[in-house]
Amino acid sequence: MSPNTYSGTDHGPLLEACDDDDDDEDIHGGDHQETSNGGWGKKVLDVEEAKKQLLFSLPMIVTNVFYYSITLVSVMIAGHLGELELAGATLANSWAVVTGLATMIGLSGALETLCGQGFGAKLYRMLGIYLQASCIISFLFSAIIAVIWFYTEPILILLHQDADIAKTAALYIKFLIPGLFAYGFLQNMLRFLQTQSIVWPLVVFSGLPLLFNAGIAYALVHWTALGFKGAPLAASIALWLSAISLAMYVTCAKKFEQTWEGFSLESCRYIFSNLKLALPSAAMVCLEYWAFEILVLLAGLLQNSETTTSLVAMCVNTEAISFMFAYGLSAAASTRVSNELGAGNANRAKNAMSVSVKLSLLLAFTVVLALALGHNIWASCFSSSSEIIKEFASMTPLLAISIFIDAVQGVLSGVARGCGWQHLAVYVNLATFYVIGVPIGCVLGFKSKLQAKGLWIGLICGLFCQAGTLLLITLRTKWDKLDLLEKGNKENPVSV
């Protein structure tokens, strides 16, 4: 059976369809002795499960990088017009991510639970209903955020940003407003496909708009009267191109005949139940994004603020780029766990989570090794200052620790989304970052001689507590009680 074909068999949903032998495999924690065809190796790592997750993760990583690059390319093209344009576009992009794009990513997290478990339970029709409900929610929140973006200039001035830079950033972000709506729809459709393990087409639907954006942005900036405004407009056009093409793929491809039956007013009935997961999911994502941005702002208050701000910003960008690789495993963990829980296979879900955590450690080790060997080369990509390159080298050991922990917590956060534990993760992120991480960073950064290192040690403390708490929740929760279907309610397949 192909991975995108649905049948009435009792096979559990996998990233790729398994043979009948695989369904009979015992993964219930060693009820009997390992056979010779697994042996010692399977006790360390389930190779088949790891292979499926890696094949799932690769296109998700590429897709995430491509969508991230669409807005980044526009910033780079606008930045070549001058220092003021670079500062304005960079500030606008950061403001867009913190206030809008992160929110859209978070809101779509509800579908990782709803569609993931619905697909596992073979309630295929409900996936399309949930997708429509989530798109309605994203549209409403995009409208609210668009109003905030429209008043970007006075807000940034209120936050003590330079008036000229704030004005330039406000101009940039106004032309990015149409793209916000497209980005919200895109994230929902990504989760819709992701939870069905249809991931390779996403590479095409993100890669082509990226190439289009690079060309159209350059043309609008340099060959038309739009100039600076052409860069964000090109990003908006590229995002809408991707959203429309992906929507056409979903509505026209035969593989979605059972999961997409067209638009239905029935979706309005599920907006509230979707919100119960979407709001904590958005808060879960935003709280972490904001914690990193707060570090950059705090660095500007330290001695020698120009150097420390650049240094912390470099570390934050490095952490973000490394997390893009971990994100693929996070998506794989979320999909595998939600699919298996929906099918009633709690032990398979646990096995998938265990494999994801082990793979995240291997991935983090690879990234850290590359950073350790090439930190000077990497730092020179951000700055030619020998002082900043030297300071970045001294930050590398701390950065390596945070990358390790962040990779693990990324997978555990994916498990939380797959299980529908977003409400628990919100409290975890709020407490670990804003009660533990940021306060410790402030004390060490401002009351000791550690400066930027003190801020980052505080972040490490927050990440460590976050990962530890999520791991504790994961281990202590009785997964076999997370039944998708309630006996008295077959309509709504997720108990929120």
- Is 38 strand, coil or helix? coil
Residue position matching structure tokens 């930027």: 452
Cα angle 337-342-343, degrees, rounded to a multiple of 5 = 100
Q: What is the pLDDT of residue 479?
A: 66
Q: What's the rounded Cα separation, in Å, for the pair 234 and 85?
A: 16
Chain length of the chain? 496
List the alpha helices (DSSP H) in 151-304.
152-158, 163-174, 177-194, 200-223, 230-252, 271-299
Local confidence band at 344 (pLDDT 50, 70, 90 cut-offs) = confident
Q: Which of 185-189, 304-308, 361-365 has the lowest mean pLDDT?
A: 304-308
* pLDDT tens digits, one per residue of 43-81: 677 888 888 888 999 999 999 989 988 998 998 898 888
Q: What is the pLDDT of residue 343?
A: 84
Residue 356: which H helix or E strand, with range? helix 346-382
| Closest of 123, 114, 128 to residue 6, by C-alpha | 123
> Ranked by mean pLDDT, which of 211-215, 294-298, 344-348 comes out on top?
211-215
Q: Is the pLDDT of residue 100 over 50?
A: yes
Q: Is the pLDDT of residue 92 over 80?
A: yes
Q: Is the pLDDT of residue 42 over 70?
A: no
Q: What's the rounded Cα separation, in Å, for the pair 110 and 131?
A: 10
Instruction: Give the phi and the psi of residue 28 in degrees, each rounded to 5.
Output: -95, 30
- Is 123 strand, coil or helix? coil
Amino acid at the residue 138: S
| 261 or 310, higher pLDDT | 261
By the 8 A CB rule, do 181 and 139 touch?
Answer: yes
- Is 486 strand, coil or helix? strand
For the chain, the average pLDDT equals: 84
By the 8 A CB rule, do 104 and 180 touch?
Answer: yes
